[in-house]
Amino acid sequence: MHTENPAVPSSLRITQLVLSNAFAGTEAHVAQLSEFIVSRGAVVRLICGDQNLELLERGRSAGVSMDTLRLGRGNLPVDWPAAHRAIAGWGPHIIHAHLGSSLLAGALLSTAPQRKLVFTQHFVRPAYLDDAGLRAQVRLFGHRLIHHRVDHAVTTTEIAKKEMIHVERFPAHRTSVVPLGIDIAMVQKAAGNKNDVRLELGIPAHSPLIITPARLEREKGHTTLLDCIPPLLARHSNVHLLVAGQGSMELELKDYARSLGIDSNVHFLGRRRDVHRLLAQATVCALPSYCEPFGIVLLEAMAVGVPVVASTGPGPSAIVLDGETGLLVPPRGPEALADAIGSLLSAPDRAIAMGKQGRTRVQEKFSVRTMGEQMLDLYQRVRAAG
């Protein structure tokens, strides 16, 4: 709870809009933000896809008012009148859209001038910018029209802000950076479960554990991670890799691990709800994404004192102080990744020191409280701007 801070006006009403049936970093962020805002006295309605059972459970258990919409193509509402009633019909002051489909729905359904539209860009470069030819021009023009309806845009890193201003032509004076944050106490409490993961998985006691909690999708860089395991095993024969997550590449990655002859040292765990426990028992957390927009899992690992190794990218470069709280390596470089992880396995005192500095950095810069206070201040400024 955050009762030591003055409450925001209870009349402040906010729709948090995330039109998605998945539960990944963006959805987890929206849940945490909504929980914080409710704890500060504002009224929040969180709207998501009707199949997003994990987000529904998370929101309701925290006392957040939830509503759902049936989603169709492009994660857009099937029933637009119902969407209007849910999103804008209850009279919110702020509609905060996350993801492109939410932005489109919010822009179309929040035309009353007293309703302010805030949009968080959770990616560095939206997918439509990679289109070519006439299609690219039409989509870019359409997005710029939608952006005129946005009262304020939020990005999670300075790099993403520059993209919005220079590529998508969003006005600089209506764009802010608010880094994501985590509930540190919750992560540390969940990590306190001492049931030994090595015993659970049949891994020899004291074996070094590398963990990668991420969706099994190409952009997350699992292939690069698997490629770094053979050279690591040559130097640390008892190292094991825990892959926590699910996705479209699961079978391909399992086959690739077998082809490399490392399947006995690689454990595919599927989607886990005890990731914080796994993180706390890991030796190193690795995130080899090819272009990671943020990387909440890095914050979670740092919060429990685990050193991190990540590919350089907008998010990791903003989170990790290279050589102090973790190590950054070029993306798609298995040799550099193996060297970085190996250097921490060979120098446990250095790894422990990095973990401690990482915990301090998260506490100072990336708490949900810091993030939530910044967002509440932004909401009230946008509302007051008239």
**Residue 296 · residue 290 · CB < 8 Å:** no
pLDDT at position 3, please? 40
Those residues with Cβ within 8 angstroms of residue 38's Cβ, 6 or more apart along the chain or in another chain: 44, 62, 63, 64
Domains of the chain: 13-181+367-384 (3.40.50.2000), 184-365 (3.40.50.2000)
Measured between alpha carbons, how far is 69 from 87 in angstroms, rounded to an integer? 10
SS3 percent helix, strand, coil of the chain, rounded to 5, is 50, 20, 35
Q: Which backbone phi and psi does 351 adopt, to 5 degrees?
A: -65, -45
| Cα–Cα distance for residue pair 134/309, rounded to 1 Å | 40
pTM of the model: 0.90
Determine the Cα–Cα distance for residues 307 and 211; give it in Å rounded to an integer: 11
CA distance 147 to 163: 14
CB of 157 within 8 A of CB of 177? yes
Burial-class residue 63 by CB neighbours within 10 Å (0-12, 13-18, 19+).
exposed
pLDDT value at residue 87:
94
Query: What's CA 239's distance to the chain center, in Å?
Result: 27
Per-residue pLDDT tens, the chain, 386 aa: give them: 344 455 565 589 999 999 999 998 899 999 999 999 999 999 999 999 999 999 999 999 989 999 999 999 999 999 999 999 999 999 999 999 998 899 999 998 888 888 999 999 998 766 666 666 776 677 677 777 788 889 999 999 999 999 889 887 889 999 999 999 999 999 999 988 777 999 999 999 999 999 999 999 999 999 999 999 999 999 999 999 999 999 999 999 999 999 999 999 999 999 998 999 999 999 999 999 999 999 999 999 999 999 999 999 999 999 999 999 999 999 999 999 999 999 999 999 999 999 999 999 999 999 999 999 999 999 999 999 86
SS3 of 261, please?
A: coil
DSSP 6: P
